[in-house]
Amino acid sequence: MSPRHAADPPRNLQARSILAGQAAAAAAEVEQALAQPADPTAAAFFDVDNTIMQGASIFLLARGLHERKFFSTRDIARAAWQQAYFKYVGVEDPEHISQARNAALEFIAGHEVSELEEIGEEVFDQYMAQKIWPGTRAMTQWHLDRGERVWLMTAAPVEIAQVIARRLGLTGGLGTVAEHVDGVYTGRLVGEMLHGESKAVAVRALAETEGLDLSRCHAYSDSFNDIPMLSLVGHPCAVNPDGALRSHAKENGWLIRDYRTGRKVASAGAKAAAAGAAGSAAWLIGRQLRRLR
C-alpha cells in the first residue's frame, strides 16, 4: 500500500471530526434562533364550560356530590335537566346557574375544603377528562409552548378550576370563591360568582399583579356573557360560540373556532325541540336514579 493511501484514514477522521463539530455548532445556532423566549407580559385566559370542556362543570360536580350522598335524587334530576338543556341548546340560563350556585353552597356548608378538593379530583377522572375538547386543549398547549402563562376563568368553584388547571398542566384557575372558616365551608360566597363582568375584573386584577400587557394577551370563550373579558385582550377568540357571540365575533373580526362535530345553525324552533328533548331525557334520568335507589 502506498504512503498516500496509508495516510488517508487519519485525514478522513480529522475531516469528519471537523464536520461533526461544525454541524453541532450549526444545530445549536439554529435551535437558539428558533427558540422563542418566554414573554412575561403575555398570557391566555380560557373559559371552562363549553370552551375547555363539553357541558357545565358545576353540574358534573353536582353529579359527583350526589353519588357521595351530599343531596337527593330529586336534586340531581334537576341538575341533569339543566345540564341537558345547556348541552343541547348551548345557551347559559342565568336562573339555572343561580339555582346551581345556591344548591351547591347549601350542600357543601359544613364540609371541609379538603373534602371538596378530593372529590374534585375524582370527578375530573370520572366525568370531566373525557369531555375535554381536544382542539381547545391543543390551544392551551400552544400558549404553554410559547412560554406564556395560561389561566382558567370559570363560574364553577375555585377548587374545581384549580383541579382542572392542575390536571391539564396549566398555570392556574380562577373561580367562584366559597367562604370557609378554619377549612370548613360556611355556605356563603366571598363576593359573587365569577361570571360575566366579574371575569373582566379578575383579568384586570391579574394583569396588574402579574405585570401583563393585555394587548399581547389572548382570551377564549363560548359565551356572549364573556364579551367583557374577551374585549379586554388584544387577541379574543370565540370557541364553540353561542349565536350571540358568533355574531359579535364576526362583526368585530375576532377569531372563531368551533370543535363541535356535525354542528348546524339551529333555528328557534330547533332550539325549542332540543330543550324539550333535554327535559324528557332528564325526566328519564331522574326516574332511573329513583329506581336504582
**Cell numbers at 45, concatenated:** 385566559
Residue of 209, 122, 108, 198 lying closest to 153 (CA atoms): 198
CB atoms within 10 A of CB 195: 21
* Amino acid found at 247: S
State yes or no: is 145 an active-site residue: no
| Alpha-carbon torsion, ordered 188, 189, 192, 194, to 10 deg | -140
CA 3, 6, 8, 12 dihedral sign is negative
HSE, CB side, 13 Å, CA atoms: give it for residue 56: 28
State yes or no: is 49 an active-site residue: yes
Catalytic residue among 39, 47, 93, 125: 47
Quote the CA–CA distance of 214 and 168 in Å, as a whole number.
23
* Amino acid found at 59: F
DSSP strands (E only) in the chain: 43-47, 149-157, 172-176, 178-181, 184-189, 218-221, 235-239, 255-257
**Cell numbers at 10, concatenated:** 487519519
Catalytic residue among 8, 39, 49, 182: 49
Catalytic residue positions?
47, 49
